[in-house]
Amino acid sequence: MSPRRTDIGGRIDRLKTIRFTFDGVAYTGHAGDTLASALLAKGVTLFGRSFKYHRPRGVLTAGVEEPNALVTVLKGEVREPNLPATMVEIHDGLVAVSQNRFPSLAWDVNAINQLGGKILSAGFYYKTFMGPVFGPLKGTRFWMFCEHFIRRAAGLGRAGSAKDPARYERMNAFCDVLVVGSGPAGMMAAKAAADQGARVILADLEPRFGGSANWSGETIDGAAATDWVRRTVVQLEARDNVRLLPRTTVWGYYDNNTLAALERVSDHKEQPAKGEPRHRYWAIRAKSVVIAAGAFERPLVFPGNDRPGVMLAHAAERYANEFGVLPGERIALFTNNDSAYRAALALKKAGAAIVAIADVRPEISGEMHKLAMEAEAEVLAGHAVVATEGGKALSGLKVQRFDMVTGALSGDARSIHADCLLMSGGWSPTIHLASQAGARAEWNAARQAFLPPKPTPNSALQRWIGAGAFNGSFSTIEAIAEGRAAGLAAAGGTAAPAALPTVEPAPGNPDPAPVFEIKAKGKAFVDFQHDVTSEDVRLAHREGFVSVEHLKRYTTLGMATDQGKSSNVPGLSIMAEALGKPIPEVGTTRFRPPFAPVSIGSLAAERFGDLKPERLTPMHDWHTANGATMYSAGLWYRPMIYGLSGETIEQAYVREARATRESAGIVDVSTLGKIAVQGPDAAQFLDRVYTNMFSTLAVGKARYGLMLREDGFAFDDGTTWRLGEQDFLMTTTTANAGKVMQHLEYFLDVIWPDLRVHVTSVTDEWAGAAIGGPKARAILASCVTGTAVDNAALPFMGIVHGEIAGASVMICRLSFSGEMAFEVYSGAGHGTHVWEALIEAGKPFGLVTYGLEALGTMRIEKGHVTGAEIDGRTTARDLHLDWMLSKKKPFIGSAMMDREGLVASDRLELVGLIALDNRPLNGGAHIVEELDEANPHGSIGHITACCYSPALGKHIALALVKGGKARHGSRAHVSDPLRNRFGPVEIVSNHFYDPEGTRMHG
């Protein structure tokens, strides 16, 4: 046993030795130890250097609120910084290092910052680095000069850059009652709710259930409180309506009683079990929540209160009783309340000498005197600690007479020799979750604490009930009674109360004296983690910061990773005094999630890497097996080119487009959006949705349609086929399929619910192949059975039904390429079969497969628009589609499309461009009247699509240009400084190729 480890007691396993390293030094501890308890047992007092001043710091607490002892844990290449040593469970092979020191923890060169305290006071960064630049090294420029050094000197642990190999997972859970905290209150609540048959989740951020019962030394039901906890946990474990979540921090309280929790599943293990994640993120939907989160002990603010060896009183009690560790051998205490006396006695019993108890109160109760006597401690009533001594460990302290009412110190300072000083400033309920849920904390003058308000009954959004110390009920008797009542109420139970577990009443008054600060010479810390002193708070006030939120930001009080868990009330009290206002008028800050730091990995869980689903057409495998280079278009994968060996992309698409126009080409168009529009009012509905008429469309014919948005801008285009009197097949652009579907559903559901129309997305039900070119009809004639495909049977925009290689097909004669062309649709399952049959039939005719590049080339040659032109800013007129705007009926967008801004003559209109220098053009390039390469300006429009046109033998483009048609035949320039492409172009009609359409009409 090490000198500071007790021989018996605590919840550690002395037979199990665990080996770990801290700053490269090998240590041993026991199963059940935290890094903090194991190092304290070895006499380690120095854990880290402080944020701004690099002051040596030890352990302040024993739990999640630890502001000082922050360490980095290394796992291979992965480093996790800023972990409280009080929350790190040791395991064999654990490698932890201290932070914010250089070159080593004991010899830190930046400790010189301690001498420069005046410089690094409140608002130091704002004052020094903000504002105008006067000289060469002032203000912002000075910041840029100093940043490198300051960033290195000030701050917390360094984040790693190695890829985290750990696995994280997310769980969704549902329960009737979520109990947060497993102290006596939480235990009772979980048991009471479970006895009612409720589905219960009990979560505690510690590895051990039991909370204060693990270290209070009390007896419950005649046995040690720890035994009562063990028994109760066994009972709960045996029930199938209870889920126990140790090491689980409930960190967020959201709408509809949704809570977020982080379970540290395997951080405490040398190796996670097979399949075990490192952390698990729980999204818990609870019908009600019992908050039994306990309370945090507060430090007192006095000079030197941050020296290693100065610790919260209950933390020391906990180290002694739960971990069998004495934080010191000669211990002094400094308190404003009764709870420290129990700690003194516990440490005495564990083997330490209690040298003195300094109490700010002039009168101490007889009960407390009795405890002090048992602890063989001298009581110094009406005294305060005014200084501490020592370097990397405490060697002594000084006390002086103190008047609690005036705050005045008097008499000579007396030195006390001690290696550990315990302080207690009373307790603050852990109201964070209630605050997140929207509850406004109420100041309780007796407890000198913010207490949660009475919960709003029956709020549908947040249903919680508090119990125990969270309510400011600090005794175990109250916790047990309130816990059971809360559990019953949360479960909706009305069972007659059975006898409560018996607890011996503990002596002591829960109300502290309203003293948090001793004003004496020297740095007195309020926020240990951010190195904010009481003087910083006052300085901020003197400089005019009177709002609590401003003060927080200016001093950074409470803004470190511990979020001011221990500093909140002492900070407010100092501010209140400076403002001359009572604390409740200064107000508390609202706590926001997360309650404690959360690993980013747990939030992402399994959702990382490439998350996009892939949409593949029925013929996808054929394309990849036949030389296609695939291209991702939204979620879809489509062939870009079917390149031959040695071909460039341009050579391939030029060959494909040329062959299509010379003989025939085939392209997969399965990605087009397809929506079945059916019902007695389907035709009427389409008349309202499209700008042109569809009710006049004959069965067996298709029509090109244009949709506008309600605001009059163009939305989408496509052909719609009338398959029956009440049966239409609408096609949309690939990109807008989902949007159009939602648009139609919205109008049918919300605007015109009286229309008897059903819309169904059938995009994935159909495989589509477009076959075009002078030989296209001959190819179809050679393979289609059951129908003729000649001009009489299948005129332009006609539809026929037939078979190809035994599979039913629907063929519509329509053209995007400008050639005589047909779209052949078959059931998706027959897609490849039909495609292969068409390819086979096309062989004698020189049929080529073509991809998106050739498709785009031919559409540019024809001047058809796509999403590049229907970009949400263009109108039908801008795109020369005004011929499609019916005057015989209103349609979506018709009322807004004639607004003056939308009919202005200087709008950007669709035109064609021909590069006069015969060089490639670029999408997005600007068009200017006068070229000024040095100072590009005067854009009159931009290129939306471009290609080399094999039909014209030129580099061409579509563009949106001011004035549009009026500029046909005139010259302009492309101005593309990003790609350094400048040159003359001719503005022409967007219909470059076969403007009369003789080829497609045949």
Smallest gap from residue 172 Cβ to another protein (A): 9
CA distances from 41 to 75, 104, 309 (A): 24, 22, 13
DSSP string, 540-575: HHHTT--SHHHHHHHHTTT-STTTTTTTHHHHHHHH
List binders of another protein among 239-258 (CB under 8 A): 255-256
Select 115 or 750, whichever has its Cβ closest to another protein: 750
Binding test (CB under 8 A) with another protein, winner from 890, 920, 977, 997: 890
Binding test (CB under 8 A) with another protein, winner from 104, 632, 742, 922: 742
Binding test (CB under 8 A) with another protein, winner from 363, 412, 749, 930: 749
Question: For 170, what's the count of Cα atoms within 13 Å in the CB-facing half-sphere?
Answer: 15
Binding of another protein by 438 (CB under 8 A): yes
Select 85 or 748, whichever has its Cβ closest to another protein: 748
Binding of another protein by 166 (CB under 8 A): no
Binding test (CB under 8 A) with another protein, winner from 650, 711, 882, 994: 711
Select 411 or 890, whichever has its Cβ closest to another protein: 890
Select 674 or 880, whichever has its Cβ closest to another protein: 674
Binding of another protein by 603 (CB under 8 A): no
Nearest Cα residue to 340 out of 423, 262, 412: 423
Binding test (CB under 8 A) with another protein, winner from 724, 746, 906, 997: 746
Binding of another protein by 765 (CB under 8 A): no
Select 487 or 705, whichever has its Cβ closest to another protein: 705
Select 843 or 887, whichever has its Cβ closest to another protein: 887
Binding test (CB under 8 A) with another protein, winner from 133, 751, 781, 793: 751
Select 438 or 995, whichever has its Cβ closest to another protein: 438
Smallest gap from residue 758 Cβ to another protein (A): 9
Enter the tokens of residue 158.
Answer: 């360094």
Select 610 or 749, whichever has its Cβ closest to another protein: 749
User: What's the CA angle centered on 373, arms 366 and 4, to 5 degrees?
Assistant: 135
Question: Is there a contact between 385 and 358 (Cβ–Cβ < 8 Å)?
Answer: yes
Smallest gap from residue 742 Cβ to another protein (A): 7
Stretch that binds another protein, among 103-111, 550-558, 561-569, 744-752 (CB under 8 A): 744-752
DSSP 59: -
Smallest gap from residue 755 Cβ to another protein (A): 9
Question: Is there a contact between 949 and 956 (Cβ–Cβ < 8 Å)?
Answer: yes
Nearest Cα residue to 799 out of 830, 822, 783: 822
Stretch that binds another protein, among 105-113, 726-734, 743-751, 990-998 (CB under 8 A): 743-751
List binders of another protein among 608-647 (CB under 8 A): none
Stretch that binds another protein, among 186-194, 210-218, 504-512, 740-748 (CB under 8 A): 740-748
Smallest gap from residue 252 Cβ to another protein (A): 14
Binding of another protein by 695 (CB under 8 A): no
Binding of another protein by 903 (CB under 8 A): no
Select 147 or 255, whichever has its Cβ closest to another protein: 255
DSSP string, 895-947: TTTT-GGGS-TTSEEEEEEEETT-----TT-EEESS--SSS---EEEEEEEEE
List binders of another protein among 187-216 (CB under 8 A): none
Binding of another protein by 895 (CB under 8 A): yes
Binding of another protein by 604 (CB under 8 A): no
Q: What's the distance, CA 968 to chain centroid?
A: 52
**Cα-flanking dihedrals φ and ψ of residue 708, to 5°?**
-110, 165
Binding of another protein by 984 (CB under 8 A): no
Binding test (CB under 8 A) with another protein, winner from 3, 505, 753, 969: 753
Question: Is there a contact between 468 and 479 (Cβ–Cβ < 8 Å)?
Answer: yes
Select 600 or 750, whichever has its Cβ closest to another protein: 750
Peptide bond into 593 cis (omega under 30): no
CA distance 58 to 79: 22
Smallest gap from residue 687 Cβ to another protein (A): 10
Select 437 or 789, whichever has its Cβ closest to another protein: 437
Select 738 or 774, whichever has its Cβ closest to another protein: 738
Q: Are strands 310-312 and 420-424 parallel, antiparallel or unpaired?
A: parallel
Smallest gap from residue 903 Cβ to another protein (A): 13
Smallest gap from residue 177 Cβ to another protein (A): 18
List binders of another protein among 453-472 (CB under 8 A): 459-461
Binding test (CB under 8 A) with another protein, winner from 754, 887, 901, 934: 754
Enter the tokens of residue 315.
Answer: 């933390």
Q: What's the distance, CA 336 to chain centroid?
A: 41
What's the N-to-C CA distance of the chain in angstroms? 100
Question: Is there a contact between 346 and 321 (Cβ–Cβ < 8 Å)?
Answer: yes
Select 758 or 919, whichever has its Cβ closest to another protein: 758
List binders of another protein among 926-965 (CB under 8 A): none
Enter the tokens of residue 398.
Answer: 């000084």
Select 224 or 896, whichever has its Cβ closest to another protein: 896
Nearest Cα residue to 53 out of 110, 108, 122: 110
Catalogue the E-assigned strands of 929-1002.
939-949, 954-962, 971-976, 981-988
Stretch that binds another protein, among 81-89, 204-212, 590-598, 892-900 (CB under 8 A): 892-900
Smallest gap from residue 711 Cβ to another protein (A): 5
Question: Is there a contact between 354 and 375 (Cβ–Cβ < 8 Å)?
Answer: yes
CA distance 799 to 247: 67
Select 784 or 885, whichever has its Cβ closest to another protein: 885
Stretch that binds another protein, among 50-58, 575-583, 630-638, 741-749 (CB under 8 A): 741-749
Burial of 998 (0-12, 13-18, 19+ CB in 10 A): exposed
Binding of another protein by 710 (CB under 8 A): yes
Strand-pairing partners, residue 985, are 915, 972
Phi-psi region for residue 438, left (φ > 0), alpha (ψ -120 to 50) or beta?
left
Binding test (CB under 8 A) with another protein, winner from 42, 170, 330, 688: 688
Catalogue the E-assigned strands of 813-890.
821-827, 847-849
Select 126 or 746, whichever has its Cβ closest to another protein: 746
Residues in Cβ contact with 830 at an 8 Å cutoff, skipping those fewer than 6 apart:
767, 807, 808
Considering CB under 8 A, how many residues would be counted as binding another protein?
Answer: 24
Binding test (CB under 8 A) with another protein, winner from 270, 745, 871, 933: 745
Q: What's the distance, CA 493 to chain centroid?
A: 37
Smallest gap from residue 591 Cβ to another protein (A): 18
Residues in Cβ contact with 465 at an 8 Å cutoff, skipping those fewer than 6 apart:
288, 289, 290, 291, 455, 486, 489, 490
Strand-pairing partners, residue 636, are 615, 633
Q: At what angle do helices 184-195 and 225-237 cross, to 10 degrees?
A: 30
Nearest Cα residue to 583 out of 515, 533, 525: 515
Binding mask 644-663 for another protein (x = CB under 8 A): --------------------
Which residues of the chain form contacts with another protein (CB under 8 A)? Answer: 255-256, 438, 459-461, 688, 710-711, 742, 745-746, 748-751, 753-754, 890-891, 894-896, 899
